[in-house]
Amino acid sequence: MSVFAVQQAAAAGCSMLFLPECCSFIGSSQPESLSKAEPLDGPAMARYRQLARDTGLWLSLGGFQEAGPDPQHVYNAHVVLDAAGGTAASYRKVHLFDVDVPNGPVLMESRTTAPGDKLVVCDSPAGCLGLTVCYDLRFPEVYQTLTWGMGAEVLLVPSAFTKVTGKAHWEVQLRARAIECQCFVIAAAQAGMHNEKRESFGHALIIDPWGEVIGRLDDPQGTGIAVADLDFDLMAAVRTKMPIKEHRARGRTQLAGQIMC
């Protein structure tokens, strides 16, 4: 899928392609995923670096099994590669999905994944990117910090949402992050049945700073890419007409000592 998507994006004249969580591998068991872990200078990442060089595209690899702090754990790493194949940024997922999904699976990500401890932004041809992964979406303070504290203009949420939680919460949360941060949101998404144990919701979306969906696949469970131009004049206009950053600073001054994030 990754090679096909990169080729599609290059043919469409894109400057950057955003791939979902688990873009390199989805296993049927946690030990299987552990067995695929590599450092970021390993052979699997080398193939992505070559793809970037061959096409001249920047790549957002939304979830890569990076070798972790011990043999029992990986990092769920979101890696951004520049058009020369160099590492522009790397973020390790902070919020791990340890959840008994109602009418769905029990998933305990922390059994084999170690959490990261740092938020990350980076400049790119698509603007200043704020890197997150999947379950981070449920923690709005992360996105507010990336935006108002670190200068992000485009919030990335590569995901493999479950079908149950995706149907209930996926689009509404993505649009909320775009609206409250007055940012673009790009949410590449895994879709469909991966194996007998795992199914992802799909519905990849691109959302503008007013909360409007400006890109999605015709088939939300299909394989392909959604393409959109990001209008930063629109973002500036939204922020000028409704100056949330200034109002937020004023409110935090009024509530000094009461707001903890």
Looking at the annotation, which residues are catalytic?
21, 93, 134
Concatenated DSSP letters of 1-17: -HHHHHHHHHHTT-SEE
Q: Pairing between strand 73-81 and 58-70?
A: antiparallel
137 phi/psi in degrees, rounded to 5: -55, -30
From first CA to last CA, the distance across the chain in angstroms is 38
236 phi/psi in degrees, rounded to 5: -60, -40
Distance (Å, whole) CA 134 – CA 81: 19
Q: Pairing between strand 113-114 and 73-81?
A: parallel
Distance (Å, whole) CA 187 – CA 29: 25
Q: Pairing between strand 184-187 and 205-207?
A: antiparallel
